[in-house]
Amino acid sequence: MAILFRRSNGIYYLVTSHNGHRVWRSTGARRRIDAEKYLRDFERQGEVSEEPKAQPQQLTFKQFIPEWRTYADTNFARSTIRLYYESIRNLLRVIGDRDLRGYSAKDMEKFKAARLKEVSTSKTNIDFRNVKALFNVAAKWGLLEKNPCSGVKLVKIPPQKPAYLTKEEFSRLIESIKVPWMRDVVAFAVSTMMRACEIVNPCVPSRNP
């Protein structure tokens, strides 16, 4: 089965499958109606079942990003997209630009190790999750057979000891607060272990009788 796919250059491509590989053919058309005519002529001539005349055309990671951006603009907030682009820049800096199918699980492990030397464990995991999500979209669109991040685990975050105040530290904290009502709020928060939003917001009555 042949499908039409419009790339970021505005040209429609005909995408078919041969021996488990995607084959890309340019229709040369920028209008959908012209591309559909090309598709009808292509299928009428029976070329779908013929041996492909050219090797499958692939996208590099950089070439994929503008097409992904169209998807991102309709699914993510701008702040989220900015985080993705930061992860994109880091991947290109550490691993480099390649054919989408040229990345491996080993590359992803190298990417994690490099980022872990530069930033925190949490930030490393954010970068890795973003890159994995990008490759998931590429796989969903049939641009690669397997996500290179599949099977690669997040960096394990070591457990941290809970932070707490000693009685002496709590006393000094209370004494340092000069505003009476603020002192009461802090004492109440420490005593009840309630969060600020739970203390500030009024109680919502239960709907149950």
Same domain, 132 and 186: no
Measured distance between the N- and C-terminal CA atoms of the chain, rounded to whole angstroms: 59
Within a domain: 105: yes
pLDDT tier for residue 209 given thresholds of 50, 70 and 90: very low
Same domain, 78 and 16: no
For the entire predicted model, the pTM comes to: 0.56
What is the pLDDT, as a whole number, of residue 50?
Answer: 44
The CATH number given to whatever domain includes residue 112 is 1.10.150
Tens of pLDDT, residues 136-179: 999 888 888 899 999 999 998 877 777 777 888 888 988 898 88
Same domain, 67 and 43: no
CB neighbours (10 Å) of residue 127?
25
What is the pLDDT, as a whole number, of residue 203?
Answer: 52
Within a domain: 145: no
> Phi first, then psi: what are they for 147, rounded to 5°?
-70, 125
**DSSP bridge partners of 5:** 13
Domain containing 177: what range?
A: 161-209
Tens of pLDDT, residues 93-148: 999 999 999 999 999 999 999 999 999 999 999 999 999 999 999 988 888 889 99
What's at 146, amino acid-wise? K
Question: Which residue reads 């006393």 in tokens?
Answer: 171
